[in-house]
Amino acid sequence: MKKTLLACFITLAVSSVQAASLLPPGAADQQPSKLVAAPLPDGEFERQPVAMAWAMDPASELAVSAPHLAESREYWAAVEASQLKSGFALTTTAPGALVRISPERQAKSGAVDPGEVRLLRNGQPLPESAFKRLATSDQLKRAGMDVSDGTVIVQLDESLGQGRFQLQLGKASGRYLVHVFEPRSSIVLLAQSERSRLLAGDTVEVATRLETGKSALAGAVVQAQLVSPSGQAWPMDVADGKARALLPLDADPTPGLWEVQLFAGAAGKDGPVQRDARTAIEVSRPTARLGGGYAFDPGSVKFSLPVQVAAPGRYELRGVLYATGPQGSLQPVAQAHSANWLEAGDGKLDLAFGPGNLPIGYGAPFELRFLELKDQTRLGTLETRELALRV
């Protein structure tokens, strides 16, 4: 009799663990299609498992943030000393433009002497009052700006209006970077990546538009390049208002964000108009992915998810538990993270939310949302699911 009762309890305990498949990924989700056996970076890495969970306010409203929209009213130009001595041509589209002149260290350029900076119009020098403000590198550093030694920033007096000018530096030597920023201009270069996170082997796609007001600027020409954290650059195709490039599968392992750099130009009523914009994306090498299934233990409110691993490393899983409240609606009630060292092959990570994190009156049905698989060793986001499962 005792054996029969014990067997019944074991059967009930085992049957309480539910196994099923994750929901198909949504259009905004990220999922590796091919894995790479990336080498381990240099350094020592934690190998002990870690797990944590905490309760959330069910009234919280969670959503995936849209990729950053870059809006540029500025451009940069590498300028030789000879151009600055004779007068570097610039066209402004609004009063009060700010112009920064920075010596290029690699070219061993001379520091900019504020007293030597002149502004010309139609080849004729304008009075010193043409500059509303003037700041040196020492002043800029004290204000918290990271600028190279010998840098000068000048602001054109608003009374000059807009149009064509020449910037002159009589004692220029070497090469300089000239940065023109027009905070009051209506001409803006917009750039927004389709996704802020990508995997090596994916296609980068950035929507771009040079506009004045809300209308596209006629005759605009846009060029773009993709730049890795170490400075490697790849040209991008620009067509139909989008810049595209295929990320190399053996992506640069250097830590840091990748940049899409865009350069736009058009003919304005006062002369050529230029705008440069940059937008950053996170690029990860696909070293692991979720196995596609899960097991759920309702007693401990724990999800166990298989992980397919191509490269040894420390992997992290995080997610948000939604539970059904007294009014019958699903609300976020808890968040859980876990991390562990996984060798190549089939592994597993758990998300244990714990019954103690469920508010009174909340329970099944559950949903697991905002699920993310991360490679902590290589600082990458590998897989995301806005809605991973319902149970």
Residue 66 is given by DSSP the state P
pLDDT score, position 10: 36
Give pLDDT, residue 145: 81
Count of CB atoms within 10 A of residue 43's CB?
6
Residue 369: the pLDDT is 97
As a whole number of angstroms, the distance between CA 346 and CA 43 comes to: 24
Report the pLDDT value the prediction gives residue 17, as an integer from 0 to 100. 78
Q: Which of 373, 371, 375 is nearest to 341 (CA)?
A: 375
Those residues of the chain that have pLDDT short of 70 are 1-15, 107
Taking the chain, what is the end-to-end CA distance rounded to the nearest angstrom?
35
Taking alpha carbons only, the member of 15, 1, 4, 51 closest to residue 348 is 51
**What letter does residue 353 receive in the DSSP assignment?**
-
**Residues in contact with 107: Cβ distance below 8 Å, sequence separation at least 6, in sequence order:** 174, 175
**What is the reported pTM?**
0.85
| pLDDT for position 107 | 63
**pLDDT digit string (tens) for 118-131?**
999 999 999 988 88
Residue 20, number of CB atoms within 10 A of its CB: 12
Provide the residue type at 39 as one letter: P
DSSP letter (8 states) at residue 83: H
| Contact assessment for residue 191 and residue 262, using Cβ atoms and an 8 Å cutoff | yes
Both tokens of 131, joined, read 């500059």
Q: How far apart are CA 308 and CA 349, in angstroms?
A: 11
Q: What six digits make up the tokens of 228? A: 């890795």
pLDDT at 121: 93
Cis geometry, peptide bond prior to residue 365 (ω within 30 degrees of 0)? yes
Q: CA 205, 207, 208 angle in degrees (round to 5)?
A: 130
Considering only the C-alpha atoms of the chain, give the largest distance between any 2 of them, rounded to a whole number of Å.
109
**From the CA atom positions of the chain, what is the Rg in Å?**
28
3 state SS of 130 = helix
pLDDT given at position 220: 92
